[in-house]
Amino acid sequence: MFTLEVRDHVMIAHSFRGEIFGPAQGLHGATYVVDAAFMTEELDNNGLVVDIGRAHDVLKTVLAALNYKNLDDLPQFAGTNTTTEFLAKHIHDRLAQAARLGTLGRDAGAISAIRVTLAESHVARATFEGPLR
């Protein structure tokens, strides 16, 4: 199994509902350093999983919809705790959608899985990994 992984970041504000979150119930924020990994069984004719430039571009486009936003204000997240693990899946799903549309420049059928890791600090991170097909 081959994996190609690219890194970018996003800076957002949000708050959480639920006593378990303690002080994180207040409006605060986070930088997420985001690693997006694309997996294939075989390389393409160029010797690639996917083009690294395209992978960076697709990740940047997905993150742009969140970057410098207060996630509490975004309709698609209404009634949802935008935890690190939730956002890992959210970004995964957007990347999977882009992959299925061919935006990565490779047949989506060739990409077996996508894994997204969000580091919220030097001591905590969350990952979502799912098959593409």
Of these, 13, 100, 108, 112, which contacts a copy of itself (CB under 8 A)? Answer: 13
76 binds a copy of itself (CB under 8 A): no
Give 28's contacts (C-beta < 8 A, 6+ positions apart).
Answer: 13, 14, 15
Q: Which of 57, 93, 105, 112 binds a copy of itself (CB under 8 A)?
A: 105
Q: Which two tokens stand for residue 35?
A: 């690693």
DSSP state of 55: H
Query: Contact with a copy of itself (CB under 8 A): which of 57, 60, 74, 89?
Result: 89
Q: Is 133 in the site for a copy of itself (CB under 8 A)?
A: no
Asked whether position 93 contacts a copy of itself by CB under 8 A, the answer is no
Give the nearest distance from C-beta 22 to a copy of itself in angstroms: 7
Give yes or no for residue 60 binding a copy of itself (CB under 8 A): no
Quote the CA–CA distance of 7 and 32 in Å, as a whole number.
Answer: 10
Which of 67, 74, 108, 112 binds a copy of itself (CB under 8 A)? It is 67
39: its two tokens: 């997996």
